[in-house]
């Protein structure tokens, strides 16, 4: 840690200690000093991390693994689509399904982008499909 950074952290921590020792509310203490309350609140969110940095015990948080799936619903007019993922370049379907209004739901996860599920639901069964999705994705 740079010396200037360490000195700035120590100065802020000393100011926090002075505020707590004063017995005043944060708002009253900040008004006495003629400073912005929002600046103090923002600095206070860093207090614990700054203490850990000075003690040498601070560890940067790691990115959380995304465990939720991405759901995309597309309203389809006319026949149900037969196209798969664009990279797979499918052959045209010689026997298309009868024309009907449907909803296409695509499911995929960031961990396995090549594994996808595509479900076509007729519009008249949309209430059933939304209940099923709530149950499955809950």
CA distance readout (Å), 10 to 34, 56, 111: 21, 14, 42
Q: What's the confidence (pLDDT) of residue 71?
A: 54
Q: What is the pLDDT of residues 91-112, one digit of tens each?
A: 555 554 544 577 777 777 777 7
Q: What's the confidence (pLDDT) of residue 65?
A: 65
Phi, psi of 103 (to 5 degrees): -115, 130
Q: Which residues contact 94 (CB under 8 A, 6 or more apart)?
A: none
Q: Which residues contact 108 (CB under 8 A, 6 or more apart)?
A: 69, 70, 115, 116, 117
Using 50 as the pLDDT threshold, list the residues of the chain that sit under it: 75-84, 89, 96, 98-99
Closest CA to 107 of 78, 68, 80, 49: 68
Q: What's the confidence (pLDDT) of residue 72?
A: 54
Q: What's the confidence (pLDDT) of residue 52?
A: 93
Q: Which residues contact 107 (CB under 8 A, 6 or more apart)?
A: 69, 70, 71, 116, 117, 118, 119
Query: Contact at 8 Å (CB) between 112 and 84?
Result: no
> Across the chain, which distance is largest between two alpha carbons, in Å?
82
Parse the chain into domains and list their residue ranges.
3-55, 70-84+97-137
Q: What's the confidence (pLDDT) of residue 102?
A: 73
């Amino acid at each position: 840690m740079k010396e200037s950074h360490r000195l700035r952290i120590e100065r802020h921590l000393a100011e926090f200690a002075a505020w707590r020792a004063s017995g005043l509310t944060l708002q009253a203490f900040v008004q006495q000093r003629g400073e912005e309350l929002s600046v103090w609140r923002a600095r206070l969110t860093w207090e614990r991390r700054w203490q850990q940095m000075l003690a040498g015990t601070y560890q940067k948080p790691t990115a959380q693994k995304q465990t939720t799936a991405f759901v995309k619903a597309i309203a389809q007019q006319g026949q149900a689509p037969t196209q798969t993922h664009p990279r797979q370049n499918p052959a045209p379907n010689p026997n298309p399904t009868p024309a009907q209004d449907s909803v296409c739901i695509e499911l995929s996860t960031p961990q396995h982008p090549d594994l996808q599920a595509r479900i076509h639901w007729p519009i008249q069964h949309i209430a059933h499909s939304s209940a099923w999705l709530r149950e499955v994705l809950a």
